[in-house]
Amino acid sequence: MTARIAGLYVITDARWPRPVALETAVAAALRGGARVVQYRDKSEDAGRRQREAAGIAAQCRAAGACFIVNDDVELARAVDADGVHMGRDDGDVAAIRAALGPERLVGVSCYGDLDRARAAVEAGADYLAFGSVHPSPTKPEAAVVPLSVFAAAREFTDRPLVAIGGINADNIAAVTAAGADAVAVVDAVSGAADIEAATADLIVRGFGPAS
Ligand SMILES: Cc1ncc(COP(=O)(O)OP(=O)(O)O)c(N)n1
Ligand SMILES: Cc1ncsc1CCOP(=O)(O)O
Ligand SMILES: [Mg+2]
């Protein structure tokens, strides 16, 4: 399962107009080659969240991509997502691991904190995310952490390492060269005029041409 966390990891953004265009945008990202999609929606409209997450889950299933729900274990279970992504305000990693069982992935934000990363591995995290690795247009308040964090984390874990924050076509190659297995983006895809082309371009620049 953890092998599925690799390549371009696209995170949905509220700027995608709702509801039809969100699906259209996810379809374009999947055609462009996104291997992981995360539903990230901070609203409290439970009905719309459920509908949108279920729709994206079906799209990812059809495309063979991995589908992750941000923050919300119950929603992940309800739509049969492949996993959840949890940050420092989203609950205890061991408790989430126990609640979800071994079949679903638990991704954990580690920011630039290697002690948190070690503890997350101990608690059963399936992948570790580090960032912002550059100033993020989506989350400008996020602290920037050095790319050396990937080599440092690789010293103690073979879990997939995900980079996030301010990653775009100009800097993605340096991020993967530093050791990130997957690269998570919001703006570089959702802000693009042509989502399919932007996705494909990021993949070639970051991971090389498809073999
Ligand atoms: C892949 C990935 N990495 C990091 C985050 C950030 O999680 P968190 O710190 O909980 O912040 P929010 O996204 O919930 O605002 C993420 N969502 N995905
Ligand atoms: C959710 C999150 N956590 C750290 S940066 C970030 C947002 C990443 O978005 P972008 O790719 O637009 O910088
Ligand atoms: Mg969170």
What pLDDT, on the 0 to 100 scale, is given for residue 13?
86
Phi, psi of 127 (to 5 degrees): -145, 160
Ligand 2: which of 8, 9, 11, 88 to mutate, judged by most atoms within 8 Å of the beta carbon? 11
Choosing among 2.60.120.620, 2.40.50.140, 3.40.50.970, 3.20.20.70, the CATH entry for 2-207 is 3.20.20.70
Show which residues are catalytic: 40, 109, 139
Distances in Å between the alpha carbon of 69 and those of 4, 18, 26, 66, 205?
15, 18, 14, 10, 26
Whether ligand 2 lies within 6 angstroms of the CB of 70 is answered as no
What pLDDT, on the 0 to 100 scale, is given for residue 211?
59
| Residues 19, 50: Cα–Cα separation, whole Å | 12
| Residues 198, 211: Cα–Cα separation, whole Å | 19
88: number of Cβ within 10 Å = 12
ipTM of the complex: 0.99
Identify residue 146 by its one-letter amino acid code: P
What pLDDT, on the 0 to 100 scale, is given for residue 203?
98
143 Cα to the center of ligand 1, angstroms: 13
| Residues 160, 173: Cα–Cα separation, whole Å | 17
b/e per residue, 180-208, with b = 16+ CB within 10 A? bbbbbbbbbbbebeebbebbbbbbebbbe
Whether ligand 2 lies within 6 angstroms of the CB of 36 is answered as no
- pTM summary value: 0.97
What pLDDT, on the 0 to 100 scale, is given for residue 26?
96
200 Cα to the center of ligand 1, angstroms: 23
Give pLDDT tens digits along the chain (211 positions).
677 999 999 999 877 776 668 999 999 999 999 999 999 999 889 999 999 999 999 999 999 999 999 999 999 999 999 999 999 999 999 999 999 999 999 999 999 999 999 999 999 999 999 999 999 999 999 999 999 999 999 999 999 999 999 999 999 999 999 999 999 999 999 999 999 999 999 999 999 987 5
Atom of ligand 1 nearest to the CA of 184: 1
19-78: pLDDT as tens digits: 668 999 999 999 999 999 999 999 889 999 999 999 999 999 999 999 999 999 999 999
